[in-house]
Amino acid sequence: MQTTDIAIIGAGLAGLTCAHLLHAQGLDVTVIEAADRIGGRIRSLRDTDGKALADLGPTWVWPPHQPVVARWLDRLDLATFAQANEGDAVIEGYHPAPVRAPLPGQDGMVRIQGGPDAMVQAMAAALPGAALHLNRRITRIDSAIDGLILTDAKGKQISAGRVVLATPLRIAAADIAMPDAPAALLQAMRATPTWMAGQAKAVMLYDRPFWRDMYLSGRIASRIGPLTEVHDHSSARGQAALFGFIGLPPAARDPALLKAAIRAQLARCLGPEAGQPRDITIQDWARDPLICTPADHNGAHPDLPPAILRQPHLDGRLHLGVSETSTRSPGLIEGALDAGQTTAEAILSRH
């Protein structure tokens, strides 16, 4: 049986932040991820050379208002650039035809060069190669005399001194048997929405940011859709792009029909060139069984977490460390970094 000081279930940003900090303090850390990639809700669209083109998950941070983000950007030596907002937006659904109008930007909003995935990759790069296990789904956690025993879908086991659940809480409650966990804890996990889990995002790539020639920002606010809001998503490296949030419920998101409707919407709002992107990528997070449950389809934002989600359990051996457990911007990148950091600090204080 494999043994480790700390087993972290989930290789999203929170789990990798926790692993990064614990490894730096000399602990033996094992990160176990059910998917075939790291990052969780953070994912990049990449070109054939592996370079990040666009963000299929979260994209923005606000360093002036998010001190945890600011510290980690500095620690990982990652640069940011301003969200492009110069020019008018296009508003549709409020008048017979789309109209131009100025819309204010958000103070402090920036993007990370290479996307939030650059944070994920930097965290993982600091870990030993043997520490990260992909395509390995944990199905059970049992108490033992000197720690916890994890069992995976193939029946293989890991003995860990402590375990961190760094995966969406509803998924963990549904997919991992925890016979010794308090019933109130499992109930709180099932009641906690996973932020953006039911959302779908579309990214459109172009040869040039033509909307800027018309002094348009690339922003669209729509009551018609299918994209309810659109933003300039051109990269720091110069790849022209737009992205939009899809306003249709999960059951109505047929990819082929969506792409045709997106092209039509972009053409009527930004002109014929907008309706001819060289590529449209749709990331429907509601279709990812490792991220979204049916209860997440309504898109509810998590509240500040109850104390039971922030406390260790099973004699201090089980910790919850995912973005929704943070009291600082739960669900956001700031929350993921804070949750990973707070969990690592709690473990180190008891080690």
For 16-31, write each residue's pLDDT tens digit: 999 999 999 999 999 9
Amino acid, single-letter form, for residue 218? G
CATH 3.90.660.10 in the chain, residue ranges: 44-115+198-287
Sign of CA pseudo-dihedral 181, 186, 188, 193: positive
Answering whether pTM is above 0.75, one says: yes
* Dist. CA 29–CA 62, nearest whole Å: 30
For 157-184, write each residue's pLDDT tens digit: 999 999 999 999 999 999 999 999 999 9
Q: Is the pLDDT of residue 106 over 90?
A: yes
Q: Is the pLDDT of residue 221 over 80?
A: yes
Return the minimum-mean-pLDDT range out of 106-110, 250-254, 347-351: 347-351
Residues in the chain: 351
CATH 3.50.50.60 in the chain, residue ranges: 2-42+118-195+302-350
For 279-334, write each residue's pLDDT tens digit: 999 999 999 999 999 999 988 888 889 999 999 999 999 999 999 999 999 999 99
At the fourth CATH level, the homologous superfamily of domain 2-42+118-195+302-350 is: FAD/NAD(P)-binding domain (3.50.50.60)
243: which strand partners? 203, 231
* Dist. CA 300–CA 307, nearest whole Å: 20
Q: Kindly provide the b/e burial profile for residues 216-233, where b requires at least 16 CB atoms within 10 angstroms of the residue's own CB.
A: bbbbbbbebbbbbebbbb
Q: Kindly provide the b/e burial profile for residues 123-145, where b requires at least 16 CB atoms within 10 angstroms of the residue's own CB.
A: bbeebeeebbbeebebebbeeee
For 183-209, write each residue's pLDDT tens digit: 999 999 999 999 999 999 999 999 999
Lookup: tokens for 280:
């449209």
Alpha helix locations (H) across 99-220? 117-125, 169-175, 183-190
44-115+198-287 maps to CATH 1.20.1260.10: no
Residues 6+ apart with CB under 8 A from 251: none
Percent of the chain with pLDDT over 70: 100
What mean pLDDT comes out for the span 97-105?
94
Backbone angles phi, psi at 60, to 5 degrees: -105, 150
* Dist. CA 4–CA 6, nearest whole Å: 6
pLDDT tier for residue 48 given thresholds of 50, 70 and 90: confident
Lookup: tokens for 304:
């500040």
Radius of gyration of the chain (CA): 21
Lookup: tokens for 230:
């659109």
